[in-house]
Amino acid sequence: MFTPIVFASILPEILILVLGILILIFEPFWKEDQRRNAGWLTAGGLFTAIIISLLFGQPGEPTAVLGGMIRFDWLGFFFKLLFMFAGAATALLLMDHETAGRRGEAYLLLLASLLGMNLMAVSSDLVMLYLAIETASIPLYILAGFLLADERSTEAGFKYLLFGTLASTIMLYGFSLIFGFSGTTDIYKIAEIFSTGSISPLLGFGLLALVIIGLGFKMAIVPFHFWAPDVYQGSPTPVAGFLSTASKAAGFAVIVRLFFVGLPEFSSSWTLVLAALSAITMTVGNLLALPQTNIKRLLAYSSVAHAGYALIGVVAFSQLGAASVVFYLAAYIATNLLAFGIVMAFSRVTGLEEITDYVGLSRRNPFMALMMLAAFLSLAGMPPFGGFVAKIFVFAAGVQANYTWLVVVGIINSIIGVYYYLNVMKFVYLYRMPGEDEEKHPVPLTSSYSIALVVLVIGVILVGTVFAPFFSWSDAGALNLF
Amino acid sequence: MIPLSWYLILAAALFSIGLFGVLVRRNAVAILLGVELMLNAVNINLVSFWRYADVSAMTGQVFAIIVFAVAAAEVSVGLALVISVYRSRNTVIANDLNLMKW
């Protein structure tokens, strides 16, 4: 039962668990003003875990371990590395949050959620999958409502919980019916049983609808996106960044494996449904982002739109499609965390979150303004940043699968996106603070922010320029699905 | 023996009642109750599918037990959040929680 390959397959999760226990042990001994050190411990530990996993936990041939609960392959492994990277960056950003950063529980909840996301990426059984999704979600409900003194935060946590439990319960109902009609919960066996055609297309369509509601909520695709702006605005900014990147990517990790491996029999219906959802998601996300005045709500709607672009790769239902989704998420995680990190760094000093508050940032902190430019240009899909290459691959997959109309919708939407991203940069670079000398209002960065933001900027530029190794990893992962 | 479809219809009805409750009720605790009804409908589904298929395979029962555990965790976090909202806002009516819109 416990052979070396079993340990190798869950090595990242073991390390995360050990890290969580270490925080539990050390945190009570630290004084109030030292507790932010838990952030260094979390971030350092996660980077160490990434390195150890790369050295000792690399998957070979795809194998089913732990009684078929977990699939040990490159797709899951690459997703795990992405989640742990996002977790480390979030921990660094969380450190200097004046209330949440001084509480050891915040880091522990982050790690618990990360554990669930890692398992979401590798689950090959519906029981495990449901358990992993809930392990990832429940700590995030608490983190969103973490600031008890802040009415917006408690409201955000509450709304997230209500919508989240409803969506996951509807999805669970779908899982129970899939189990009933196929007689198995193993995703890799479901396909064989459904391929005999024992189930009517109408019923299949109903099952898909139930599952898409649950996963659509996690990925924040229209029409299951309405929680996203409220929750992102209300929850602590680093948590919002984590929600919009890792949590969304985990939803995609599940949808790719479940639909490509488990439900290829119904591919004609789900590609059509997801193509329609993708077009609506891009359009609604971008159009609703246009009138926003709060920067976190703007980023929330932009993240809704990005889920639409990434869905094009799922719709393509090909190896290139799967690889492009994984690559898109890698670029998007780095870019969006960078954007949220800058919003966090800015509001920590000034306490402001409106777009018009960013006037004259280029003079108040030129370095930060430059990083913000990189983040927003990457979100808009400009070379040489990650967002550009990622969009190219996704659109290429769409064209290859004869979804040209969807790609055209995507390109039109990218153009709308450029407008509102550059609109923010207009305030940063072109406008000045009225009647003030900007030099007297600097926006300093603390050491943890500097490290996190510089690492993320390097990530965004690396993914956009030296993209070959990242794409070959994504492609190796995608190969495991076919 | 009672046919399987009766159990499935019962579960579907229970699920629909729960969903109706979630969508219509405005009290947060009642919404959580609705979610619990939906989860129990899932459990009826799982256990009846298990009973009418291969009884020696334990999957259905194990799945149902895991659903209990998760439901308990979810509701405890849910009630904690309801209390934290009640302390700061003095209300548990979902419609009144509208600080953030559009």
Q: Which residues of A touch B53 (CB under 8 A)?
A: 180, 183
Measured between alpha carbons, how far is B8 from A294 in angstroms, rounded to an integer?
47
Choose the mutation target among A69, A161, A227, A298 for the interface with B, i.e. most B CBs under 10 Å.
A161
Give the integer Cα–Cα distance in Å for A102 and A146: 12
Q: Tell me what pLDDT residue B78 has.
A: 93
Residues B59 and B50 sit within 8 Å (Cβ to Cβ): yes
- The residues pairing with B72 across neighbouring beta strands, listed in sequence order, are none
- A16 vs A22: CA distance, rounded Å: 10
Contact: A179, B97; criterion CB under 8 Å: no
| Rounded Cα–Cα distance for residues A69 and A3 (Å) | 15
Helix pair angle (A201-219, A267-289), 10° resolution: 30
Say if residue A280 is exposed, middle or buried (CB neighbours under 10 Å; 0-12, 13-18, 19+): middle
DSSP state of A401: T
Dist. CA A285–CA A275, nearest whole Å: 15
How many Cβ atoms from other residues are within 10 Å of residue A287's Cβ?
14
Query: Is residue A247 within 8 Å of residue A218, measured between CB atoms?
Result: yes
Contacts with B39 (C-beta within 8 Å, 6 or more apart), sequence order:
A169, A172, B67, B71
Question: A150: Cβ–Cβ under 8 A, 6 or more apart, which residues?
Answer: A234
Query: Between chains, do B100 and A185 touch, taking CB under 8 Å as contact?
Result: no
Phi, psi dihedral angles at A63 (to 5 degrees): -135, 155
Which amino acid, residue A354? E
Instruction: Verify whether the Cβ–Cβ distance B77 to A230 is below 8 Å.
Output: no
Give the position of tokens 């590609």. A271
Interface confidence, given as ipTM, is 0.95
Which of A138, A148, A170 has its CB closest to that of B77?
A: A138
Nearest CA in chain B to A173: B42
Residues of chain A with pLDDT under 50: none
For chain B, what are the domain ranges?
A: 4-90
CA distances from B84 to A142, A153, A310, A339 (A): 11, 10, 36, 30
| CA distances for A351 relative to A267, A345, B44, angstroms | 48, 10, 50
- Which domain covers residue A26, as residue numbers? 4-479
Strand A63-65 with A70-72, pairing? antiparallel
Using the 8-state DSSP alphabet, how is residue B94 labeled? G
Domain count, chain A: 1
pLDDT at B101: 67
Chain B residue numbers with beta carbons less than 8 Å from the beta carbon of A156 are 100
Assign domain B4-90 to its CATH architecture.
Answer: Orthogonal Bundle (1.10)
Cβ neighbourhood burial of A159 (10 Å; 0-12, 13-18, 19+): buried
Q: pLDDT value at position A267?
A: 87
Q: Is the minimum CB–CB distance between B40 and chain A shorter than 8 Å?
A: no
Output the six-digit token pair for A262: 């488990």
The set of residues, in sequence order, having a beta carbon less than 8 Å from that of B37 and lying 6+ positions away, is: B14, B15, B17, B18, B21
Crossing angle for the helix pair A74-95 and A37-56, nearest 10 degrees? 160
Q: What are the Cα distances from residue B99, in Å, to A18, A114, A343, B16, B49?
A: 39, 30, 21, 30, 44
**pLDDT of A268:** 87
Model confidence over B51-86: pLDDT tens digits?
998 888 888 899 999 999 999 999 999 999 999 999
Q: Pick from A127, A137, A169, A298 the residue to mutate for testing the B interface (most B CBs within 10 Å).
A: A169
DSSP state of A27: G
**Contact flag A180-B74 (C-beta cutoff 8 Å):** no
Is the Cβ–Cβ distance between B47 and A179 less than 8 Å?
no
Interface touch A138/B73, C-beta < 8 Å: yes
Nearest to A257 by CA among A6, A5, A476, A482: A482
- Is B3's Cβ below 8 Å from some Cβ in A? no
Chain B: residue whose CA lies nearest to A225 = B102
Distance (Å, whole) CA A41 – CA A397: 40
- Residue among A134, A166, A184 whose CB faces B22 most closely: A166
Task: Convert the pLDDT of each residue in A211-233 to its tens digit.
Answer: 999 999 999 998 899 899 999 99
Contacts of B15 in chain A (CB under 8 A): 173
CB contact under 8 A, A134 and B53: no
SS3 A60: coil
Residue A58's region, left for phi above 0, alpha for psi from -120 to 50, else beta, is beta
To the nearest 10°, report the CA torsion of A317, A323, A328, A331.
170
Chain A residues in contact with B81 (beta carbon < 8 A)? 141-142, 145, 154, 157-158, 161
- Interfacial A residues in 119-178 facing B (CB < 8 Å): 126-127, 130-131, 134, 138, 141-142, 145, 148-149, 151-152, 154-159, 161-162, 165-166, 169-170, 172-173, 176-177
Please indicate whether, in this complex, the C-beta atoms of B99 and A145 are within 8 angstroms of each other.
Answer: no
Q: How far apart are the first and last CA of chain A?
A: 27
Residue A328 is predicted with a pLDDT of 95
pLDDT digit string (tens) for A347-379?
A: 988 888 899 989 888 888 999 999 999 999 999
Q: What is the pTM of this model?
A: 0.95
Residue A275: per-residue pLDDT? 94
Q: Exposure string (b/e) for A409-431, b if CB count within 10 Å is 16 or more?
A: bbeebbebbbebbeebbebbbee
Answer yes or no: do A229 and B100 touch at CB < 8 A. Answer: yes
- Structure tokens belonging to residue A276: 């329609």
User: B28 — contact with chain A (CB < 8 Å)?
Assistant: yes
Residue-averaged pLDDT of chain B: 90
